[in-house]
Amino acid sequence: MTMFEAILLTIATAATPLLIAALGELVVERSGVLNLGVEGMMIMGAVSGFAAAQMTGSAWLGLLAAVLAGAAFSLLFGFLTLTLATNQVATGLALTLLGLGASAMIGESFVGLPGIRMQSLYIQGLTDLPYIGKFFFGQDPIFYISIFLTIGVAWFLFKTRAGLTLRSVGDNHTSAHALGVPVIRIRYLAVLFGGACAGLAGAQLSLVYVPQWVENMSSGRGWIALALVVFASWRPWRIMAGAYLFGAVTIGQLHAQALGIGVPSQLMSALPYLATIIVLVLISRNKRLTLMNTPTSLGKAFVPDR
> Looking at 87-96, 134-143, 157-166, which range is the least confident one?
134-143
**Sequence-ordered list of residues with C-beta below 8 angstroms from that of 137, at least 6 positions apart, any chain:** 121, 122, 123, 126, 127, 129
Average pLDDT score over residue span 239-243: 92
Other Cβ atoms less than 10 A from the Cβ of 157: the count is: 19
Domain boundaries 3-293, CATH class: mainly alpha
Which pLDDT belongs to residue 128? Answer: 79
Asked if residue 299 has pLDDT above 70, the reply is yes
- To the nearest whole percent, how much of the chain has pLDDT over 70? 91
- Residue-averaged pLDDT of the chain: 88
The full length of the chain comes to 306
Residue 7 — very low, low, confident or very high, per pLDDT cuts 50/70/90?
A: confident
More confident residue, 7 or 244: 244
Which pLDDT belongs to residue 156? Answer: 97
- Report pLDDT digits (tens) over 97-145: 999 999 999 999 898 888 889 988 888 877 878 777 788 888 999 999 9
Other Cβ atoms less than 10 A from the Cβ of 277: the count is: 11
Which pLDDT belongs to residue 67? Answer: 97
Q: Are 28 and 191 in contact (CB under 8 A)?
A: yes
> Looking at 46-50, 153-157, 158-162, 215-219, which range is the least confident one?
215-219
Q: How far is 293 from 186, CA to CA, in rounded Å?
A: 20
Q: How far is 275 from 245, CA to CA, in rounded Å?
A: 10
More confident residue, 223 or 257: 223
- Report pLDDT digits (tens) over 255-276: 666 666 666 766 766 777 777 7
More confident residue, 129 or 94: 94
- Report pLDDT digits (tens) over 27-86: 999 999 999 999 999 999 999 999 999 999 999 999 999 999 999 999 999 999 999 999
